[in-house]
A = this chain, B = another copy of it.
């Protein structure tokens, strides 16, 4: 049978309480006893039983990650970031993937019945109020990442800043006629990116030409899709001579579609029109897309850290952290053709 604290207590000639204390790093165990217990434990190859532990202590040593399975993009990096902190937390990571944004609630409902976890990392989706209440009631700490909820700690990307930087980069490269290929303006990220875009233009004394701002009206994933990018780019292309010389695209995946449209039209990026994306998905590097990188690994890691803090200090005021995307210069903005110019900018 499996070895229990009783076995090792008997063998080490101590009480089970002491054994338990040793394994919980309780201070009041003499050095001698501790090392003796530890010695016996390793000799007998003892492993604490997580469930017995959880049952007795009312902790689970596991956290739940609720992540969107429909965005393949950051997912991996985020999880890597989370996992890098897991051993600090001494925690298992239970994964729950949601296949479609509309399914969050029903998915959670099905899942919430099952596991009991010490905390939840909730990624990139709007937390249904029904569950927010439930978690608050149960005092289950929740960290919301790449999304926002007033009652929980949140980590977000500063979309406005990101779009501001992207636009500014193009301006510094000498572009005067700059467009925005945006997602569905109903979505918060799209609105924020629009604002950053506008700020950058007005800040530089450039006019905002309404015809050069194109929002997607696609209901699918708020227009953050390849196809939405493709369609909007076609609209830009139909402007012919009126076309912007550079376009800020609200996401890399849309930029992929835009690039396809540009190629199809027999034009070249960046020669005929420069592009700057947002996200830095894996594809971006292969397509040499200049983009605003979202620090996903870091966000995953910080999310785990934040949860750790929250577990320690349940009553601390909810925190809100903003990450600023970082400019990754590749080829689609044309900057790589002018090394000197980039250096001047930097």
Q: Across the interface, which residues of B come within 8 angstroms of A72, CB to CB? A: 76, 282
Bound CA span A49–B113, Å? 10
B283 touches A49 (CB 8 A): no
Q: Choose among B62, B90, B99 the residue that contacts A94 (Cβ–Cβ < 8 A).
A: B62
Asked whether, in the complex, the Cβ of B51 is within 8 Å of the Cβ of A80, the reply is no
Q: CB < 8 Å: which of B50, B83, B115 contacts A92?
A: B115
Interface of A is mostly: mixed
Check A79 against B69 for contact (C-beta < 8 Å).
yes
Q: What separation, in Å, do the CA atoms of A51 and B117 have in the docked complex?
A: 11
Copies in the assembly, this chain: 2
A99 touching B80, Cβ below 8 Å: yes
Chain A: number of interface residues, binned into ranges: 35 or more
Q: Which residues of B contact A115 (CB under 8 A)?
A: 50, 62, 92
Q: Which of A22-66 contact B (CB under 8 A)?
A: 47, 49-52, 54-55, 60-62, 65
Q: Which residues of B contact A61 (CB under 8 A)?
A: 114
Q: Does A97 contact B (CB under 8 A)?
A: yes
Interfacial chain B residues near A93, Cβ < 8 Å = 94-96
How many angstroms from the CA of A54 to the CA of B92 in the assembled complex? 16
- Give chain B nearest CB distance to A114 CB in angstroms: 6
- Would you call A110 an interface residue if the criterion is a C-beta within 8 Å of the partner chain's C-beta atoms? yes
Q: Is the CB of B94 within 8 A of A94?
A: yes
A256: B residues at CB distance < 8 A? 286
- Give bound CA distance, A283 to B256, whole Å: 11
Within 8 A of B (CB), among A88-138: 90, 92-97, 99, 110, 113-116
Q: Are A94 and B92 in contact (CB under 8 A)?
A: yes
Interface string of A145-185 (1 = CB under 8 A from B): 00000000000000000000000000000000000000000
Q: Please name 30 pairs of A and B residues whose Cβ atoms are closer than 8 Å in the assembled complex, sorted by A.
A: A47-B116, A49-B116, A50-B115, A50-B116, A51-B51, A51-B60, A55-B55, A61-B114, A62-B94, A62-B115, A65-B95, A69-B80, A72-B76, A75-B76, A80-B99, A83-B95, A83-B96, A83-B97, A87-B110, A92-B114, A92-B115, A93-B96, A94-B94, A95-B95, A256-B286, A282-B282, A282-B283, A283-B283, A283-B286, A286-B287
| Chain A residues engaging chain B, CB cutoff 8 angstroms | 47, 49-52, 54-55, 60-62, 65, 69, 72, 75-76, 79-80, 83, 87, 90, 92-97, 99, 110, 113-116, 256, 282-283, 286-287
